[in-house]
């Protein structure tokens, strides 16, 4: 089995790439979605989050993101502490998932901070999804309730495409339409299977 990491900046198209890969029949682990799910569904993690932020951290049993964002904005060290609670749970969850999918020839892990977190070291190959900054901003603006300024702020807090490309085995340029994307992905999977 080969483990393939998928990463890229905000709005580059990681989830879109993952969706195509999934539709081709390969297992894909979405780290960010699983982290969100675990924060609202793991009793142990929920207890730890309540210890850190208080009971208001949850609203109707769901993580109260607005409350937490406001606190960590004032006290960034708490974001670091939250990450330290979440990361080991996601790591165990991922390891279980790998075990459940051990018969697959290729498994994929999508993570926005694959490189920054060091998780890329566990991958056999890394796919970096890139797209022009203008297009990424436009796509995120039509997807989320967010301003261009906020998107740029997030981009500045992330690695640049150039930095990610240095770590890539394969680069997917997602500037064109989704048809072209599928062809690119099939080509890359073919190369990986032959490698
Ligand atoms: P984030 O890091 O913000 O979660 P992401 O890298 O996972 O983003 P996606 O959610 O896959 O990016 O894509 C961002 C938006 O752009 C989505 O609304 C998606 O439908 C759209 N999109 C992605 N790829 C294409 C494409 N090739 N053509 C047109 N629209 C696209």
Looking at the CA of residue 175, tell me the nearest atom of ligand 1.
27
Cα 171 to Cα 6: distance, rounded to the nearest angstrom: 10
Question: What is residue 8's three-state secondary structure?
Answer: strand
**Confidence label for 84 from pLDDT (cuts 50, 70 and 90):** very high
Q: Measured in angstroms, how far is the CA atom of residue 106 from the centroid of ligand 1?
A: 23
Q: Measured in angstroms, how far is the CA atom of residue 139 from the centroid of ligand 1?
A: 6
**Confidence label for 21 from pLDDT (cuts 50, 70 and 90):** very high
Looking at the CA of residue 181, tell me the nearest atom of ligand 1.
27
Instruction: Name the residue with the closest Cα to ligand 1, atom 2.
Output: 10
Looking at the CA of residue 10, tell me the nearest atom of ligand 1.
2
Query: For 101, what's the count of Cα atoms within 13 Å in the CB-facing half-sphere?
Result: 20
Q: Measured in angstroms, how far is the CA atom of residue 14 from the centroid of ligand 1?
A: 7
| CB distance 15 to ligand 1 below 6 Å | yes
CB of 4 closer than 8 Å to CB of 108: yes
pLDDT at residue 178, rounded to an integer:
85
How many other C-beta atoms are found inside a 10 Å radius of the C-beta of residue 69? 10
DSSP states of 124-164 as a string?
SEEEEEE--HHHHHHHHHHHSS--HHHHHHHHHHSPPHHHH
Residue 18's Cβ-count burial label (10 Å; 0-12, 13-18, 19+) is: buried
| 39-68 pLDDT, tens digit each | 999 999 999 999 999 999 999 989 999 999
Looking at the CA of residue 12, tell me the nearest atom of ligand 1.
6
Joined tokens for residue 15:
């989830």
- Residues 84-109 have a mean pLDDT of 97
Cα 169 to Cα 167: distance, rounded to the nearest angstrom: 7
Instruction: Name the residue with the closest Cα to ligand 1, atom 28.
Output: 177
Q: Measured in angstroms, how far is the CA atom of residue 44 from the centroid of ligand 1?
A: 33
């Amino acid at each position: 089995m080969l483990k393939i990491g998928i990463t890229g900046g905000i709005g580059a198209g990681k989830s879109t790439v993952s969706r195509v890969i999934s539709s081709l029949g390969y297992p894909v682990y979405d780290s960010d979605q699983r982290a969100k799910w675990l924060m609202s569904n793991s009793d142990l993690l929920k207890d730890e989050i309540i210890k850190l932020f208080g009971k208001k951290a949850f609203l109707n049993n769901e993580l109260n993101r607005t409350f937490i964002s406001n606190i960590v904005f004032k006290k960034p060290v708490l974001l670091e502490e939250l990450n330290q609670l979440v990361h080991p749970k996601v790591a165990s969850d991922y390891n279980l998932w790998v075990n459940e999918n051990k018969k697959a020839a290729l498994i994929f892990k999508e993570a926005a901070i694959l490189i920054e977190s060091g998780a890329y070291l566990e991958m056999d190959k890394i796919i970096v999804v890139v797209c022009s900054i203008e297009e990424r901003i436009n796509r995120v603006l039509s997807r989320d309730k967010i301003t261009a300024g906020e998107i740029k702020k997030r981009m500045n807090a992330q690695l640049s495409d150039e930095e990610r490309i240095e770590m890539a085995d394969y680069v997917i340029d997602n500037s064109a339409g989704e048809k072209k994307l599928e062809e690119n992905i099939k080509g890359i999977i073919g190369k990986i299977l032959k490698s």
